Each structure stands twice: as structure tokens, then as C-alpha cells.
Amino acid sequence: MLKIAEREFTSRLLTGTGKFSRAETMLNALDASSTQLVTLALKRLDLHQGRDDLLSPLRKLGVDLLPNTSGAKTAEEAIFAARLAREALDTNWLKLEIHPDQRYLLPDPLETLKAAETLVKEGFVVLPYCGADPLLCLRLQEVGCAAVMPLGAPIGSRQGLQTKTFLQIILEQAQVPVIVDAGIGAPSQAAEAMEMGVDAVLINTAIASSTDPVAMARAFKLAVQAGRMAFEAGVAGPGQAQASSPLTAFTEAL
Amino acid sequence: MQLTLNDHSIQLSAPVTLAALIRQHYPDNNGIAVAVNQQVVNKSLWEQTELQPEDRISLFTVVAGG
């Protein structure tokens, strides 16, 4: 079972709530994914517009909420967003993300580490989105992050595990759960991550932007389960060509 | 007195608490967070927070996101 900061999860699939065309589709997709932890963002209220009630249906679904600090470009902004999120949602869980780079949305390692250190001291359960940098992941672990969330590829790019070599090192060193966040575009890529021994994956775009998000959510659920099962069963490593059937010489009699 | 609420200027004839201001604009404050002059104010302090002239109040809510 996946355990993050003393909380246990039977599902190893975290999902985002962004980019869905309709709220109903999003809720049905989350339901089909069997996710137990979903991300949300914060924004300033538009005084002239009503606001959609997103929280009631999510709470009804029984999922835990993981607010993010999306939009923050510095540690200071992320800390402000974290405090707001804690107020708005009554949770100290936080997906810390700081990306000043608007083109690739790559996380800022220095600001992320700085913010993580402060937020852990303030009692937050910090899950930082970060580059697949083994040393940075160690540092984030040392300052008390409850998990690390290295990227597989840039957010929304759907390029899969471009950082595989480094994810392997992160997995070898990690004392906290490793969650691949960003870049996974297809269930096969999620299965590949799980087979490596990644503890969980966070998927948003690949589900929300598919033609049938509900079916895709279910496909990801199954892929994550299959990948985990394969990891636990011990995936056979690569080797030289070797027959999997006995090479008996029965043709010699011909 | 004059205040700023999410970049909109508002005029108040009498002193008001943060709780009263929020009640007036957002009776359903579920999922809302507030900052006064860039300092987040805990919900338990809304009633006792008297707003001052020129205060900048920011209201935030939750939206879908990844």
C-alpha cells in the first residue's frame, strides 16, 4: 500500500482536475480512475462572476485534496499560496510547484528547496514537483518533504519517461515515496514507471485531453495496477537472447 | 473609508470587520481564503479583524488544476 506521511492509499494513481471540458466529465473520470488524491489550484476570485462549486462533488467522491501552488514564481509566492490553500481547504497537504519559466514550466530547484524547508517547519505535508535531479531529491527529502515528485518530461508534453536514467537513481536513494509528476502521456508510460518501482504517478493532461476521459482514466488505473503488480513480481532484467521454450532437437529425426 | 477588494475600490461609510465584508460579498465562504495586505488571515480571526482605511483585501478560491 502507498503510504505518504502516515496516510495510506490503496490507489497509486494521483490525478489532476485541470483541462477537462466539463466538470461532470472530470468527476466521472476521477471516479473511473479510483484515485484517492486529486490536485486543485487557487485563484483570485472574480467579483463579477459566480464561482462553480467544485468542492462539494469532490468531497462527495471521497477523495483527498492536494492543493498546488501553481502560478508561484518564487519561494515567497509559493509560501503565500500554501497558506491560502490551507485556509481554503482545511488541509496541510500541498503540492509545491514553482515554475518561473513560462515556456516549459520547468520547476525552479533553488526556490523549491527554499520553500519546502519553510513549509515543512510550518507543518505542511509537502510534495514537491521537481526536476529529475537525484541530488535535489535527496535535499528535498532531508528538509522533510513527505514525497518527491520528479518529472518524466515537461508538463503536458506527453513524452513519457525522458528522465528514466535519473529516476532510477532517485528510486535507489529515496527514503520517501517517489511520484512521477508530469510528462506521462499514455497508460503504457505509466505502467513503465510503475514497473521501475516508482511509488505512484500523477496524471492530468493525458486523461483530461483524451477523446474519452472516463475510459482513459480507467485505462490509467489498470496500467498503474499492472505496472505495480509487475514490479512486485520482479520484472526480469534485460539479457542476451535466450529461448523461453526448451530447444529440444526433435527436428533432427526428420 | 476606502478599501481595495480584489483590485476593486470600495467605499464604506462605517467601520466593518473582515467577516462582515466577506458575508456581504460571499455568503457561502466554503473554500475561500483571505489575505489582508498580503497576509493570510485565519478564518477564526475574521470576526475580530477590523478593516482599516486603504487595506487591500484579496479573496481566493479553489479551481480545477493539475
Q: Tell me the one-letter amino acid at A133.
A: D
Cα–Cα–Cα angle for A89, A35, A195, rounded to 5 degrees? 130
| Domain membership flag for residue B27 | yes
Inter-residue contact A193 to A4 (CB < 8 Å): no
Q: What percent of chain B has pLDDT over 70?
A: 100
Question: Element (H or E) spanning A80, and its range?
Answer: helix A75-89
Tell me how close the Cα of A56 comes to any Cα of chain B, in angstroms: 9
ipTM of the complex: 0.92
Q: How many CB atoms lie within 10 A of CB A8?
A: 9
More confident residue, B54 or A238: B54
Residue A50: the pLDDT is 65
List the beta bridge partners of residue A94.
Answer: A126
Q: Helices in chain A by DSSP H: which ranges? A: 23-33, 55-61, 75-89, 109-121, 134-142, 164-173, 187-196, 205-208, 213-233
For B46, the domain range is 2-61
Inter-residue contact A139 to A131 (CB < 8 Å): no
Cβ neighbors of A97 (< 8 A, separation 6 or more) are: A68, A69, A70, A72, A78, A107, A112, A128, A129
DSSP-assigned states of every residue in A206-217: HHHTSSSHHHHH
- Examine the residue annotation and report whether A221 is marked as an active-site residue of this protein: no
Q: Which CATH number belongs to the domain containing residue B11 in this structure? A: 3.10.20.30
The CA-to-CA distance between both ends of chain B, in Å, stands at 40
| Identity of the residue in B25, B40, B66 whose CB atom sits nearest the CB atom of A83 | B40
Determine the topology of domain A2-253 in CATH. TIM Barrel (3.20.20)
Domain count, chain B: 1
User: In this complex, do A47 and B64 lie within 8 Å of one another by their Cβ atoms?
Assistant: no
Tell me how close the Cα of B12 comes to any Cα of chain A, in angstroms: 17
| Domain membership flag for residue B66 | no
Cβ neighbors of A125 (< 8 A, separation 6 or more) are: A4, A5, A92, A93, A94, A146
| Identity of the residue in B26, B30, B66 whose CB atom sits nearest the CB atom of A205 | B66
Residue A249: the pLDDT is 72
Residues of B in contact with A155 (CB under 8 A): 66
Q: Tell me the one-letter amino acid at A98.
A: I
Residue A126: the pLDDT is 98
In eight-state DSSP terms, residue A240 is S
Q: Tell me the one-letter amino acid at A172.
A: E
Walk along chain A (254 residues) and give the pLDDT tens digit of each residue: 999 999 999 999 999 999 999 999 999 999 999 999 999 999 998 877 766 788 889 999 999 999 999 999 999 999 999 999 999 999 999 999 999 988 888 999 999 999 999 999 999 999 999 999 999 999 999 999 999 999 999 988 889 999 999 999 999 999 999 999 989 999 999 999 999 999 999 999 999 999 999 999 999 999 999 999 999 999 777 777 777 877 777 777 67
Residue A244: the pLDDT is 80
User: In this complex, do A89 and B60 lie within 8 Å of one another by their Cβ atoms?
Assistant: no
Strand A37-44 to strand A13-16: parallel, antiparallel, or no bridges (unpaired)? parallel
Tell me how close the Cα of B35 comes to any Cα of chain A, in angstroms: 8
- Residue ranges per domain, chain A? 2-253
Residue of B nearest to A51 (CA): B61
pLDDT band at B7 (very low <50, low <70, confident <90, very high): confident
| Identity of the residue in A16, A20, A67 whose CB atom sits nearest the CB atom of B62 | A67
List the beta bridge partners of residue B64.
Answer: A40
List the beta bridge partners of residue A67.
Answer: A40
Residues of B in contact with A58 (CB under 8 A): none
Residues of A in contact with B61 (CB under 8 A): 42-43, 45, 51, 88
Three-class SS state of A112: helix
